[in-house]
Amino acid sequence: MQILIVWDDLTPEWLDRIAAETGAQLLVSRNKQEAAAMIEHADVGLGFVPPSLLQEATAMQWLQTAYAGVEGVLAVPWGNPDMVLTNGSGIFGPNIAEQIVGMMITFTRGLHKARDAQKQHQWEWPYTFGELYGSHVGLLGYGDIGRETAKRLKAFGCQLTAIRRSPGKPDDWVDAVYPYTDLDDILPNLDFLVCSLPHTQFTEGLLPLRRLQMLPNHAVIVNVGRGSLLPEADLIKALETQEIGGAALDVTAVEPLPPSSRLWDLDNVILTPHNSGNTPYHVERGLDIFFANWRRFRRGEPLLNVVVPEVGY
Amino acid sequence: MQILIVWDDLTPEWLDRIAAETGAQLLVSRNKQEAAAMIEHADVGLGFVPPSLLQEATAMQWLQTAYAGVEGVLAVPWGNPDMVLTNGSGIFGPNIAEQIVGMMITFTRGLHKARDAQKQHQWEWPYTFGELYGSHVGLLGYGDIGRETAKRLKAFGCQLTAIRRSPGKPDDWVDAVYPYTDLDDILPNLDFLVCSLPHTQFTEGLLPLRRLQMLPNHAVIVNVGRGSLLPEADLIKALETQEIGGAALDVTAVEPLPPSSRLWDLDNVILTPHNSGNTPYHVERGLDIFFANWRRFRRGEPLLNVVVPEVGY
C-alpha cells in the first residue's frame, strides 16, 4: 500500500506517525514535479494533491484532502473514476466560526472604526452600537462551520435559523431548520446572514440583488464560503445604496481581490483575505480525520466526509 | 415622594411609564443647574445625578445610578449619610462581554491587521493565527461582566478561571474560582487575562510590571474596568519588550488617552475609547433594575446592587 502525501506542513515527526499508524509506504512529495513522478503508484492520496495530476492517478482508491472546498478536484478527470474523495470538513469549524463571530462583533461594536480612530490617535466614536444579543441570525449552509458558529452565537443570546439543502431538525443550538426553498421567506426577518456554502452549480449566484434587497436595511452579510455566492456588482450596489447594512467578506468572486475593487473602500465592508481557514491545529485535526478514515478504509467500511460529486461537496 | 431624574436618554414615554409605575412626582432635570435647584426636595435619585450636588441631597434616601463605576459618588460627601447607593451592575454585561470577546478574537484572528491591510488594498496576511479554542482565560473580577464573558467564552472551548475578592465556587461556566491572593500562582498559566475590576483602593495598581512579567510572553491582557489597574508606564514597558503578547484596552489611566501616548501606535495594542458600556438596551435594562428596586424600596426590603462604600462597589 502506497500513500502519496502532498502537505508541506507535515513535519518528520508527523510523517513518522503516519508511517507507524498505517504501515504503508509513504510517497512524500514537496512539489508538483515530485508528485507527478509518483502519483501513478499511489493507492491513497493525502493533503494537497494537485488536481491537474489526478488524471494519472489510475491506482488511487481514495483521496483525502486537507481542505474543505473541492470544486477544483471535481472539475478535472480522475485516473480512477471510482476513486472515493473525502474532504477536510471538521478541520476548520472552530477557527472559521471564531472569525465569523469576531467579524459580527466588529460590526455590532464598531471595532473596525475603532481601529481607524486608533491610527489617527482619536478618542471618539462617530458610530452607534448594537448587540448580538437578541439578534436573529440566519445560517445559510449548516455543516461543520454553521454548527460551530451556532454553538458560539447561542451563548450570545442570538435567535438562530439554519437554512440548508438537506432536511434537518432543530438541535441544541439552532431554533429552526428550513430548506433553501424557504430562503425568500426568511431573509426579511434576519439581522445577520452567515454564509458558509461551497461553490456548486446550485450556490453560484444564489444571492443576487433581488434577494439582497429582501434583507432589512440594517442586516449584515458574512461570507466565508465561496465568493461565487454573491454576484459582486449586485453586492456592491446593495452596499452602496445601503439596502443592506454591511458585509464581512473572507471570500470574493475574484481572489486576490483586485486593488481596484470598490469593496476595499466601502464604509460598511470589512475584508479578510480568505484566511479564516488558517489554524495552528490544521495538521492535528486533518490527520485525526485521515486516521479515522484510514481505519475505515482498511476495514472496507464507509468513509467519513465522502464528497458526492453530483452535489459538489 | 419625589424622584429626581437626571438621564437625558429617557424619552417622554419612558418618563410616563416611571410616573405610572411609581405614582411619585418626577423632578426631571436636563442639566446640572436644574438638578441643583431640585435636589434638596428629592427622596430618590435616578440616573446620572451629578456627584458634586449630593451634598445638598439631604432628603435622598436612595440613589440608583445608571452606570456601574461609582468611585465619583463615593469620593464626595452626601447630604444624607444614610443614603442607600445602588449601581447599574447588570445593565452592561451583555454588551461589554461581547466587546471583550470581539477584542480577543481580533487578536487570535488578526482582525486589526486585516483592517490595516484593507485600508491599503492589500490581500495578504503578515501575521499568524490562533484560536480561543483550548486557551486558558483568567477573569480578574467576576461580577456581572465576568459572568457574561464566561458564558460566551465557554462556547468557544476556553478553559476559564475566575479570580475574585469574594469566595465563590465554580459555576456552569468557570472551571475554577480563586481569591486575589492566588493571583501570582495563576498568571503564569494564562493565555488571556480579562480585567473587569472597578476602581478601588485595592485595585489601583494591582498589575504592576512584576505581575505583567509573570504572564507568558504570548498572553493578552484585556481591560474594560478602570485604567488605574495597570500602571501605564509598566504596561507600555511590558508591551514594548514583548513580555506580554498584547493588550486590548477600553480604559486607560488618563481619559481621553492623550494623543501623545505611546499606546496608540504599539503594534500589539488595540484601543476602544471607553465605549464598551454603550448599548441600545441601556434605558430598558437600567429601568428594569430601577423598577425592581423601587418595589423593594416601597416594601422596605433590601435593594439589589447595593454599593458597600468600604469595598468601593
Residue pLDDT, tens place only, B92-126: 999 999 999 999 999 999 999 999 999 999 999 99
Predicted pLDDT at A168: 84
Please give the residue of chain B at the shortest CA–CA distance from A269: B118
Residues B147, B226, B282, B285: which is the catalytic one? B226
How far does A225 lie from chain B, in Å, by closest CA? 17
* Rounded distance between C-alpha atoms, residue B233 and residue A243, angstroms: 47
Beginning with the edge strand found earlier in the chain, give each strand of the sheet holding A2-6 in spatial order.
A25-28, A2-6, A44-47, A62-65, A84-86
Q: Confirm whether B255 is a catalytic residue.
A: yes
What's the predicted TM-score (pTM) here?
Answer: 0.96
Residue type, A172: D
Strands of the sheet with B62-65, listed across from one edge:
B25-28, B2-6, B44-47, B62-65, B84-86
pLDDT digits (tens, 9 = 90+) for B23-72: 999 999 999 999 999 999 999 999 999 999 999 999 999 999 999 999 99
Question: Is residue A189 over pLDDT 90?
Answer: yes
Q: What values do phi and psi take at A115, rounded to 5?
A: -65, -45
Q: Chain A residue with minimal CA distance to B94? A: A133
Size of interface A-B (CB pairs under 8 A): 155
Of the candidates A109, A211, A274, A296, the residue annotated as catalytic is A274
Residues in chain B: 313
Long-range contacts of A30-36 (CB under 8 A, 24+ apart): A35/A4, A35/A6
CB contact under 8 A, A116 and B112: no
Q: Give residue B68's pLDDT.
A: 93
Please tell me the distance in Å from A303's CA to the nearest CA on chain B: 27
CA contacts within 13 A on the Cβ side of A10: 22
The answer to whether residue B163 scores a pLDDT higher than 90 is: yes
**Radius of gyration of chain B from Cα atoms?**
21
Residue A268's alpha-carbon distances to A106, A236, A243, B4, in angstroms, are 11, 10, 11, 41
A9 burial level (CB within 10 Å; 0-12, 13-18, 19+):
exposed
Which residue among A112, A152, A226, A285 is the active-site one? A226
For the segment A90-141, what is each residue's pLDDT rounded down to a tens digit?
999 999 999 999 999 999 999 999 999 999 999 999 999 999 999 999 999 9
Alpha-carbon distance A9 to nearest alpha carbon in chain B (angstroms): 14
pLDDT at B307: 97
Given an 8 Å threshold on Cβ–Cβ distance, is A115 in contact with B118? Answer: no
Structural domains in chain A plus CATH codes: 2-91+281-299 (3.40.50.720), 93-271 (3.40.50.720)
Strand ranges (DSSP E) for chain B?
2-6, 25-28, 44-47, 62-65, 84-86, 136-140, 159-164, 176-179, 192-195, 220-223, 246-249, 269-271
**Closest residue by Cα to residue B192 from B91, B295, B103:** B103
Q: Peptide bond preceding B256: is omega within 30 degrees of 0, i.e. cis?
A: yes
- Selected residue of B96, B99, B109 to mutate for chain A interface (largest A Cβ count, 10 A): B109
C-alpha cell belonging to residue A204: 453560484
Q: Which residues contact A253 (CB under 8 A, 6 or more apart)?
A: A227, A228, A230, A231, A232
A255 an active-site residue? yes
Distance (Å, whole) CA A256 – CA A270? 15
CB contact under 8 A, A111 and B94: no
The dihedral built from the CA positions of residue B105, B106, B108 and B109, taken in this order, carries a sign that is positive
Is residue B167 scored above 80 in pLDDT?
A: no
pLDDT, tens digit, 9 for 90 and up, residues B117-140? 999 999 999 999 999 999 999 999
Exposed / middle / buried, residue A40 (Cβ in 10 Å: 0-12, 13-18, 19+)? middle
Distance from CA of B259 to the nearest CA of A (A): 5
Strand order from edge to edge, sheet including B136-140:
B176-179, B159-164, B136-140, B192-195, B220-223, B246-249, B269-271
- For the segment A212-239, what is each residue's pLDDT rounded down to a tens digit? 999 999 999 999 999 999 999 999 999 9
Distance CA A185, CA B213 (A): 55
- Span A37-44, mean pLDDT? 97
Rounded Cα distance between B96 and B101, Å, is 9
**What ipTM, to 2 d.p.?**
0.95
pLDDT tens sequence across B212-250: 999 999 999 999 999 999 999 999 999 999 999 999 999
Residue B61: the pLDDT is: 98
Which of the four pLDDT bands, split at 50, 70 and 90, describes residue B142?
Answer: very high
